[in-house]
Amino acid sequence: MRLRATVAYDGTGFSGFQRQTSARSVQGELETAFERVCRQSVTVLGAGRTDAGVHATGQVIACDADWKHTLPELQRALNSVLPNDVAVSDVAECHATFHPRYSARSRVYEYQVLVAPVRRPVQRLYAWQIGYELDVDRMGEAAGVLVGEHDFVAFGSAPQGDVTVRRVFSATWNRDGMLFRFTIEANAFLFRMVRRTVAVLVRAGSGQITASDVADILASKDPRRVKGVAPACGLCLVNVNYEGE
């Protein structure tokens, strides 16, 4: 049967989602767990190839495996052998043609920025800490420029091929005390697109550039216009949406 599951992981100790020969990956840990539980070789497909240090609460995976017991029992068995920084949130049977990446309608990422003058050791793995004030309204206005279908080549590179046009459905900032959270939903993302976008929007929040400048960067299609990349630790894949859901 083809199985679909939602997976959460702390990306701190991983080289990324995708399997690698000489480094720890989320895909590798999941395949090892499935092989131990199902007693067969299993290839796990993912909805998003998150980078090293990037987290997830809503990564979607699929694989083909033989399992003769209930799906809740499979979930419990997988979680019993997975390391503490990975967990399977749910498991379901799906159509044989389902692919977590190619069947997806959209993906939702969140990025956290913490404004604090003194280092916060507990939060350092899950937010980008900066020591200067930000204006959430300025960042929200600048983020609005990105909504719609655009060529985002200034903000990232194509994971494969050369098509860099993406459709952003929403891009918003919210503030809770000194924690700023950026939420963006798009049909797909370029390599490092969210982290480069955050770097630009933080500049807008600090008053270095305006929403009009962000529009100019987008229109320029020039990656040199984007200065820096936000750290991976603040980024989390929170949801993957599919037609009919």
Residue 21: predicted pLDDT: 86
Residue 159: predicted pLDDT: 85
Beta strands in 83-132 (DSSP E): 86-94, 104-115, 128-130
> Can you tell me the distance from the alpha carbon of 100 to that of 122, in angstroms, rounded to the nearest whole number?
33
Sign of CA dihedral 63, 86, 155, 139: positive
CATH code that applies to domain 2-94: 3.30.70.580
Contact 131, 78 (CB under 8 A): no
Q: Strand pairing partners for 26?
A: none
- Residues contacting residue 110 through CB under 8 Å, at least 6 positions apart: 181, 182, 183, 235, 236, 238
Residue 42: predicted pLDDT: 94
Residue 116: predicted pLDDT: 95
Would you say the CATH fold of 105-242 matches that of 2-94? Answer: yes
> Can you tell me the distance from the alpha carbon of 121 to that of 148, in angstroms, rounded to the nearest whole number?
37
The secondary structure of residue 15, as a DSSP letter, is S
Residue 122: predicted pLDDT: 87
Per-residue pLDDT of the chain (245 residues; tens, 9 = 90+): 899 999 999 999 999 999 988 899 999 999 999 999 999 999 999 999 999 999 999 999 999 999 999 999 999 999 999 999 999 999 999 999 999 999 999 999 999 999 999 999 989 999 999 999 999 999 999 999 999 999 999 999 998 888 999 999 999 999 999 999 999 999 999 999 999 999 999 999 999 999 999 999 999 999 999 989 999 999 999 999 998 77
Q: What angle do CA 37, 43, 49 make, to 5 degrees?
A: 115
Residue 240: predicted pLDDT: 98
- Residues contacting residue 224 through CB under 8 Å, at least 6 positions apart: none
The terminus-to-terminus CA distance of the chain in angstroms comes to: 21
User: Which of 139, 132, 110, 89 lies closest to 233 in space, CA to CA?
Assistant: 110
Q: Which residues are annotated as catalytic?
A: 51
Residue 102: predicted pLDDT: 94
- The stretches of 110-171 forming alpha helices (DSSP H) are 136-144
> Can you tell me the distance from the alpha carbon of 108 to that of 2, in angstroms, rounded to the nearest whole number?
24
Residue 244: predicted pLDDT: 78
Residue 53: predicted pLDDT: 96
Domain 105-242 adopts which CATH fold? Alpha-Beta Plaits (3.30.70)
Task: Tell me whether residue 224 is exposed, middle or buried, using C-beta atoms within 10 angstroms of its C-beta: 0 to 12, 13 to 18, 19 or more.
Answer: exposed
Tokens representing 213 are: 């400048």
Per domain, the residue ranges of the chain are 2-94, 105-242
pTM over 0.75: yes
